[in-house]
Chain A
Amino acid sequence: MGSVSLPHPSLSPVKSISSQITSTEVVVIGAGLAGLAAAVRLAMFGKKVILLEKHYVVGGLNSFYARKGRKFDVGLHALTNYPSPSSGKSSPLLKLCRQLRIPIDELKLLPQSHSRITFGEQSLRFNNDFQYFLSQVEEAFPSSMDAFLKLLKMMEQFPAYSVDAEELSTRSILRDSGIDPLLREMLLCPTCYYGSARPDDIDFPTFIMLFDAIFKQGLSRPEDGIRAILNPLTAKLKELGVDRRMNSAVRSIQTKGDKAKEVILESGETIKAEKIISTCGIRETESLLQENCIEPDEAQTGQFSIIESIRVFKGHPKDLSWDETVIFFNRSNRFVYDCPKGLVDLESGVICMPDNYGTNHQTEESKLRVTHPANFHRWSQLSEAQYLKEKNYWEKTMLDNALSYLPGGLEKRELLHQRTELLDTFTPKTIKRFTSHINGTLYGSPTKKRDGSTKYKNLYLAGTDQGYVGIVGAMLGGIAVANNQILRAG
């Protein structure tokens, strides 16, 4: 046994590189809501699907995590498109449940109490009854009412939901509408926060979809949070035999001529696919292709990201006389929606009290969530020690700043601090980890591709950069690509 032997394979320090080759009908890249919904639809009708996810949890931006035995949702402030009595069966949420064969009752939706947009001294309240919102606008801006109703009519007639809707600037349409400048800013605030990838503006079709989703339909939350949506989807994937792979990052997409041929994983495995749906974004897909994927190469890189801090406290918000669900606030009369120069922009933000959905006020503890625009690059440049220091600083600053927008908030500061059990924060870096979006953007590239087509015949985009936003939008987008690009073709 004196001869030099080759190292035993199992003791080899070199990680074995798989050269395995697999074949399938469809590869879906990304197990966010768009990817999950697309995979379910395809598998429902017999397609052989491999669903790849880089992270170790599903959901993408709408995922979840646990801290000290408590469950947190990453993205979910509100599920929009609540099928309220005044919106009836027109809600896209119902279409979505039908398409995925998930009974809507299974989601156990809790409607919002009521919510508010506050700019300086001016407030507009809304709930899941659109007439109430109209009456609020009339009370606050009586001289704008005629112009506002005219704008609503124009929005109804605009083909916002069509794949080739013109992406006009909402700011310029609102400027020409004749409504009060402050009302314009107040309408932009919730719609931008819930889905604009454009700096300081929102494209008009998305504005209309979000206006309908937030005000005409309404806000709700599944009793069990985002898991109420993710669990039935993953159960269906399992039942339908979808090969779902976690911790499976894609290294590249190989093409030949006008077709995408195969996907190569970081593990070295090659997956040959007849069709590929990429939900990771236009820019992100281009980096896998090492080539632009739409022509001409016009895709822009998104910049908008957020920071969110969460205070977990004993009791219910009602104990502090806080009965609102979501508050969109802005210090001044001019709303700026952009990537800030500093780490965080305190000028405007969103407060959410998820325990004010539904009518159970007996909870042992509750959450106060505060969100502000944040700069991904500034956060990324910090050393680990600086990062923790800044995170702690902003966590406290943001949560205290938000108190000035809550009824009697500043006087209740000490009481709230005494009741606090836990603080937690996620930064643009956290969003990057969950979504793999370049720049940790919340809503991807300002360039959208609604029908999902690319310059490659069998490669489609779905999700964020398809331009249908929110939980409902993402899932409907994934479904639309599965239906129109793959299932219709047979």
Chain B
Amino acid sequence: MDKDKVKQIVLDIIAEIAPDEDLNDVKSDIRLRDQLDLDSMDFLDIVMELRKQHGIDVPEPEYRELESLDSCANYLLPKFEAGAAA
């Protein structure tokens, strides 16, 4: 697992949640909200899908760690690695 893989996992989830969004040109360092039409319901879904598909828990105060692909990668990578090691 590396950061690029984590980013791809998040993008795959967004593609599932918001199939009408064009994800070809998403910038890693810009807030997802600023380049895509995503609202708080969509972010809740990203959290729910991470739990369902990958067994990763994101507590509510930490939702903001998911604001860009870069921050997702930084925040989620240790969680994926911890999950793989367990």
Query: Measuring CB to CB, which residues of chain A are less than 8 angstroms from any residue of chain B?
Result: 44-46, 89, 94-95, 98-99, 101, 103-104, 479, 483, 487-488, 490
Residues A98 and B48 in contact, CB atoms below 8 Å apart: no
Q: Which of A94, A103, A104, A488 contacts B44 (CB 8 A)?
A: A488
Asked, given contacts A45-B52, A98-B17, whether A487 binds B37 with beta carbons under 8 Å apart, the answer is no
List the B side residues contacting A45 at CB < 8 Å: 48, 51-52
User: For the complex, is B23 an interface residue (Cβ under 8 Å from A)?
Assistant: no
Q: Which of B18, B57, B60 contacts A98 (CB 8 A)?
A: B18
What 10 pairs across the A-B complex have the smallest Cβ distances?
A89-B37, A45-B48, A98-B18, A45-B52, A483-B44, A98-B17, A99-B41, A95-B41, A487-B48, A46-B52
List the A side residues contacting B45 at CB < 8 Å: 98-99
Question: What is the predominant secondary structure among interface residues of chain B facing chain A?
Answer: helix
B 43-86 to A, binary, CB cutoff 8 A, 1 in contact else 0: 01100100110000100100000000000000000000000000
Please report the C-alpha to C-alpha distance between residue A256 and residue B59 in the assembled complex, in whole angstroms. 30
Q: Which of B16, B39, B42, B60 contacts A488 (CB 8 A)?
A: B60
Nearest-CB residue, chain B, relative to A104: B20
Nearest-CB residue, chain B, relative to A45: B48
Q: Which of B16, B20, B39, B60 has the most CB of A within 10 A?
A: B20
The size bracket of the interface on B is 10 to 19
Q: List 5 A-B contacts (CB under 8 A).
A: A95-B39, A101-B16, A103-B19, A483-B44, A487-B48
Please report the C-alpha to C-alpha distance between residue A44 and residue B17 in the assembled complex, in whole angstroms. 12
Please report the C-alpha to C-alpha distance between residue A225 and residue B37 in the assembled complex, in whole angstroms. 29
Nearest-CB residue, chain A, relative to B45: A99
List the A side residues contacting B17 at CB < 8 Å: 98, 101
B 7-26 to A, binary, CB cutoff 8 A, 1 in contact else 0: 00000000011111000000
A70 CB to nearest chain B CB (Å): 35
Residues B52 and A483 in contact, CB atoms below 8 Å apart: no
List the B side residues contacting A479 at CB < 8 Å: 41
Please report the C-alpha to C-alpha distance between residue A439 and residue B16 in the assembled complex, in whole angstroms. 43
Residues A94 and B52 in contact, CB atoms below 8 Å apart: no
Please report the C-alpha to C-alpha distance between residue A89 and residue B36 in the assembled complex, in whole angstroms. 11
Nearest-CB residue, chain B, relative to A96: B41
List the A side residues contacting B52 at CB < 8 Å: 45-46
A414 CB to nearest chain B CB (Å): 49
Other 5 A-B pairs with CB < 8 A, given A98-B41, A98-B45, A487-B48:
A98-B18, A101-B16, A104-B20, A483-B41, A488-B60
Residues B48 and A94 in contact, CB atoms below 8 Å apart: no
Please report the C-alpha to C-alpha distance between residue A99 and residue B16 in the assembled complex, in whole angstroms. 10
Please report the C-alpha to C-alpha distance between residue A352 and residue B17 in the assembled complex, in whole angstroms. 35
List the B side residues contacting A104 at CB < 8 Å: 20
Residues B20 and A94 in contact, CB atoms below 8 Å apart: yes
Please report the C-alpha to C-alpha distance between residue A47 and residue B17 in the assembled complex, in whole angstroms. 19
